[in-house]
Chain A
Amino acid sequence: MSGESRPAASAVCLPARSVGGFRREGVDEDSFTLAVGASELLESLDPGGDIQGVHLFDAGSGDGSTLLSTALGLSSVPLVVHPDREDALREFLDARAASTDPPSGCLLLFVDALGERDPRGELMRDSAAVAVRLGGPPPRAPLPARGGPASKRTLGGDASALRAALRWLEEGPSRWWVPESHVEASVPPSPARSVDLGGVSEGAYVPRASYLQNLPSRWRFAADRCPACGTLTFPRRGRCRNCSRTEGLATVELPRAGGIVEAVTTVHPGAQPSEFDWSVERRGAYDVALVRLSEGARVTLQVTDCPPGTLHPGESIATVLRRLYPMEGEWRYGRKAVPIALTWAGSGSGLPT
């Protein structure tokens, strides 16, 4: 794929509480991207209520359902995996039609992990997600564009499933809010793909299995509360960090917006771990912040979407799911910090890139 310019990733942000879409174009995306995108979408819709069901079309690696469950915290939500996209879309739409009197705030989610591979094993097509909110709280302010000039575009490209779903929504019963136009905020295209996703890691190594095991902590800031001593353990490690109890730990999710910066440093080119060489080559220096999420729980996060040196101790941040580092053939995703002044309505998730 070298030398081929990569299209812009884009977030489809609909100024409505009822529907939103997320789409990625590009050739180097994978199941992670899908799950990240779906998760971003849900956060941007601010789901206060339950997710009623998820229909997943996944022709990719087959990791989609696991990753999606983890990303969305869907342990008790039916997730239907369809090997055929038309079936997936039809069932999604049927389910949508059947939900005439839904509980407030429930969501239907359609995720399209097109994930077709070329002969070299590269993923060739888009991932897309459509969420339908059935009732729920009032809409948030429109999501401002960040990371580049905003532009209005209609949906296009290969995201035909997404397009079809949105078209259906537009044609649907009028009591559902129908967007008149789709505001699409685009981010500048990344340079042509040149990141070596690597064979054997030359750097510090986190095995894929460990990464997947820790996804709830990494993506959703899942922590364990000890029923005996009340101590919060983050990241989770299956036992209380204070009293070592393993039974009855209650999973809580730490706030993903509203953390306070305790310390921050700008890492200049040359001082980055080798896993971040690609990032420094493209964007230069970056900030890393130590963030207090709640009493007794901190997390170390790379800062994004603002020039280095923007963030200061004592200030608030929100978090976004982003690409963190390449390892052994795939991108690893996790949360990064964004100064809260730059986020949508002072909280929430911001745009995926």
Chain B
Amino acid sequence: MPTPSDRAAIVGAGHTRFGVLTEGPRELLSRAVAGALGSVDRGMDRGDVEEAYLGSLGFSGWQLGNSATLLAEELGRPGVPVSRVENACASAGYALRAGVHAIESGARDVVLVVGLEKMTDAPSRRRRYWLGVSGDTEWERLAGLTFAGVYALLASCHMQKYGTPREALAEVAVKNHRNALLNPNAQFHKAITREEVARAPRVADPLGLMDCCPVTDGAAALLLVRRSLAARYTDTPVSIVGTGAASDYLALQERASLTSLAATRRAAEEAFRRAPFDRRALSLAELHDCFTIAELLALEDLGLAGPGEAARLTLDGGTALGGAIPINPDGGLKAKGHPIGATGASQAYEVFQQLRGAAGARQVPHAERALSHNVGGSGASATVTLYEAG
């Protein structure tokens, strides 16, 4: 394990608006990277970046192969080694992990990690293709399921086993929409009620339209440096003190449990094993709420709630801003938006703001330690990252 001074620390982060944007992939990359460089307190020369990782599913096939090269171009440094990291919705979580490993291994001192997805420029038929290709194709998708259907099956199992009420799913959406009101980058700035969630058009029972994250364009960028070099760039870095990742079978039908994502549980175990603190020390967490049920599963799999207890914690306001453990203060995937490959980097961006006290109206008071959790597909891959101010 790396010594604290050999760990990676975030010294700058950039974020585009999330939503239905006119910008194309190149402009989104450009804005996120410029934002990250511009956010470094003492400045950073583009030439300092030794290697870069791009998290992206494939932005509708616009540049299917070699797409990380766009990043080098936008960085103005063709020549820098770049690679795309793809694990569906967890792409940027894994890109961040790759960046952390590059630093912890001693290979690199300064690394750029970017997440990008451009989704709204494709016609809906093509979009449904891209949204559904990250699960098991032959046995799950071609049995008639997109991800809404797959998460609906998980919700069905959770409700059966634990009696999880429909209102708890709705409350996840209500809470995340409320948080997004305070996030200028969020796709939705609209408060909703549990009744509106319940009345929304049905998608895949028990999930309705307002249980689902939207289709989103956006990008986020992170500048990682060796912690011992952080003072060159800022007095207030955010250290990455633990990372964990795990995989599972692609298809639900082959998994041991249908009420829990084993990849999340294993990733969390690894991350906390490396970190100098435990779950009780967390000030906030960014969880992968692609569907409302996913936030409840994550709360339980990460040990923030006992098995079957996430619904109660949520309905009691424990996950709201001001609650025992604020979850998704930026609005989460549900209301901030979910540009697939950008989400993991966007979560780290939010943690960077929160742990530096720069999150504005949605600031969690005295935030010092945080967790981000990024899931690929229906849980075939997951990352958990732990952060500490300083």
Contacts and interface: CB of A to CB of B under 8 A. Distances in A.
Interface string A272-308: 1111110100000010101000000011111000000
Interface string B139-151: 1111111101100
A290 B252 contact: yes
Interface in A258-282: 262-268, 270-277, 279
Interface residues of A, number: 39
A299 B126 contact: no
Contact of B254 (A241, A302, A313, A325): A241
Interface in A198-252: 202-206, 210-211, 214, 235, 241
Interface string B241-283: 0000000000111100010000000000000000000000000
Contacts of A203: 128-129, 132
B144 A302 contact: yes
A298 B160 contact: no
A324 B128 CA distance: 18
B156 A313 contact: yes
A322 to B, nearest CB: 12
Contacts of B44: none
Contacts of A255: none
A313 B160 contact: yes
A329 interface: no
A262 B258 contact: yes
B202 interface: yes
A114 to B, nearest CB: 29
B126 to A, nearest CB: 7
B125 interface: yes
Nearest to B131: A273
Interface in B312-353: none
A309 interface: yes
Contact of B139 (A273, A274, A286, A300): A300
Interface centre among A241, A271, A277 (most CB of B within 10 A): A271
Contacts of A262: 157, 258
Interface string B113-131: 0000000000001101100
B141 A288 contact: no
B191 interface: no
Contacts of A273: 128, 132, 141-142, 144-146
A205 B61 CA distance: 15
B249 to A, nearest CB: 9
Contacts of B125: 202, 274, 277
B203 A271 contact: yes
A147 to B, nearest CB: 18
A227 to B, nearest CB: 21
Given A202-B125, A204-B129, A290-B258, A271 B153 contact: no
Given A268-B201, A270-B203, A300 B146 contact: no
A258 B35 CA distance: 59
Contacts of B129: 202-204, 274
A211 B137 CA distance: 11
Contacts of B146: 267, 271-273
B145 A275 contact: no
Contacts of A286: 144
Nearest to A266: B205
A270 B202 CA distance: 10
A332 B146 CA distance: 18
B138 interface: yes
B152 interface: yes
Interface centre among A214, A273, A332 (most CB of B within 10 A): A273
Given A241-B254, A313-B160, A266 B141 contact: no
A204 B253 contact: no
A262 B258 CA distance: 9
Contacts of A241: 254
Given A273-B128, A302-B143, A266 B204 contact: yes
Interface in B130-180: 132-133, 137-146, 148-149, 152-154, 156-157, 160
- Top 8 nearest A-B pairs by Cβ distance? A265-B152, A298-B253, A263-B156, A263-B153, A300-B143, A204-B137, A266-B205, A271-B203
Interface of A: 202-206, 210-211, 214, 235, 241, 262-268, 270-277, 279, 286, 288, 290, 298-302, 309, 313, 324-325, 332
Given A206-B138, A275-B142, A300-B252, 17 more contacts: A202-B126, A204-B133, A210-B138, A266-B204, A268-B203, A268-B205, A270-B203, A274-B125, A276-B144, A290-B253, A298-B252, A298-B254, A300-B140, A300-B251, A301-B143, A302-B144, A313-B160
